[in-house]
Amino acid sequence: MTERNRQILLVETPKGKLGPEHFRLTEAAMPVPKEGEVLARVRYISLDAANRAWMQGATYRSAVEAGSIMAGAAVAEIVASNSPGLAPGDLVFADTGWQDYVALSGKRLVKLPRIEPLTYLLSVYGIAGLTAYFGLLRVGRPAPGETVAVSAAAGSVGSLVGQIAKIKGCRVVGIAGGAEKCAWLTRELGFDAAVDYKAGPLFKTLKDAAPKGIDVYFDNVGGDILEACLFQMNQRGRIACCGAVSQYDGGPQPHGPRGVPGLLVVKRLTMQGFIVMDYDAEREAALADLRSWVEAGQLKVQEDVIEGLENTPRALIGLLAGDNRGKRMVHVS
């Protein structure tokens, strides 16, 4: 066990784009677990677009304040325990923050199975997989033969959404940045079409990619892409609002998408936001489905693992710029 605990602080809340200057690597004394707490060693930190949104203010969780340890979820391993029911060697999922070690209350810890590879606990069997599953199947509710479009399609949530929609017998259109990502979606993941939103205006290319219109749009990005999809939606279509990554990393957005509420009215659209925790009661059933699809080879899991705690800021900055394919995480120990 090291004697010092490396930590990454958010030293300043960014006003514009997030950069390395907003973080600082520092060292602190090893935390000592109190009664009811455990000492946990961080193994893999989950990089999430939402990490950037937390710097803008309170969301579904409180804001990350300047001067504090950068918040983040991770798979961690217990090394000492003062909490009944938790023992050294147990794996847990928790908001550990970006650091080597953390003392956590044992009360709300989610114990994880020790599976191979461990990284799947953050990708397909973690928040990403469950978000894709519930957002698509409970909010989007696609029927076989319908057209499903998904943005940030080559990212961790999006790449799973498209594949689950294929499993459910839908026609799938992915929207992603760059020709390479688009080729990967159609060639490797079995999407029916992919549209590169960086190659030019989306309206025409999206119409060509979804000639029968869109029945379900799984929105990870908001902004102009949401607007383009709104105009292609079919009558009684459903829009699952999962996130708005186009609006996380920068100043305030000037305007919302055109077509709201007019298109919602005339096309009888449903637009529904959700947070993955809303479906906690169905978690085990969802995991069983995801497991069976992975084992049957129907669901390909793409991961993007960066080595070293010190590289976590760079990993998040890169994720916001679209450097990742699939689930990005940092291997700490």
Contacts with ligand NAP by CB under 6 A lie at 48-50, 127-128, 131, 152, 154-158, 176-178, 181, 220-221, 225, 242-246, 274-276, 319-320, 322, 324, 328
Quick check: helix, strand or coil at residue 229? helix
In the complex, the smallest distance separating the C-beta of residue 50 from ligand NAP, rounded to whole angstroms, is: 4
In the complex, the smallest distance separating the C-beta of residue 222 from ligand NAP, rounded to whole angstroms, is: 8
Q: Which is closer to ligand NAP, CB of 70 or CB of 320?
A: 320
Q: Which is closer to ligand NAP, CB of 39 or CB of 276?
A: 276
CA 171 to chain CA centroid, Å, is: 23
In the complex, the smallest distance separating the C-beta of residue 120 from ligand NAP, rounded to whole angstroms, is: 15
Within 10 Å of residue 247's Cβ, how many Cβ atoms? Answer: 16
In the complex, the smallest distance separating the C-beta of residue 220 from ligand NAP, rounded to whole angstroms, is: 4
Q: Which is closer to ligand NAP, CB of 154 or CB of 214?
A: 154
Nearest to 211 by CA among 227, 192, 196, 186: 192
Quote the CA–CA distance of 249 and 16 in Å, as a whole number.
7
Q: Which is closer to ligand NAP, CB of 263 or CB of 276?
A: 276
In the complex, the smallest distance separating the C-beta of residue 158 from ligand NAP, rounded to whole angstroms, is: 5
Q: Which residues contact 321 (CB under 8 A, 6 or more apart)?
A: none
Q: Which is closer to ligand NAP, CB of 42 or CB of 175?
A: 175
DSSP code of 15?
A: S
Q: Which is closer to ligand NAP, CB of 30 or CB of 321?
A: 321
DSSP per-residue string spanning 104-140: EESTTPEEE---SSGGGGTTTTSHHHHHHHHIIIIII
Nearest to 239 by CA among 132, 140, 136: 140
Q: Which residues contact 328 (CB under 8 A, 6 or more apart)?
A: 47, 156, 303, 304, 305, 306, 315, 318, 319
DSSP code of 99?
A: B
In the complex, the smallest distance separating the C-beta of residue 257 from ligand NAP, rounded to whole angstroms, is: 13
Q: Which is closer to ligand NAP, CB of 80 or CB of 185?
A: 185
Going 257 to 322 to 214 to 274, the CA torsion angle's sign is negative
In the complex, the smallest distance separating the C-beta of residue 177 from ligand NAP, rounded to whole angstroms, is: 3
Quote the CA–CA distance of 64 and 266 in Å, as a whole number.
40
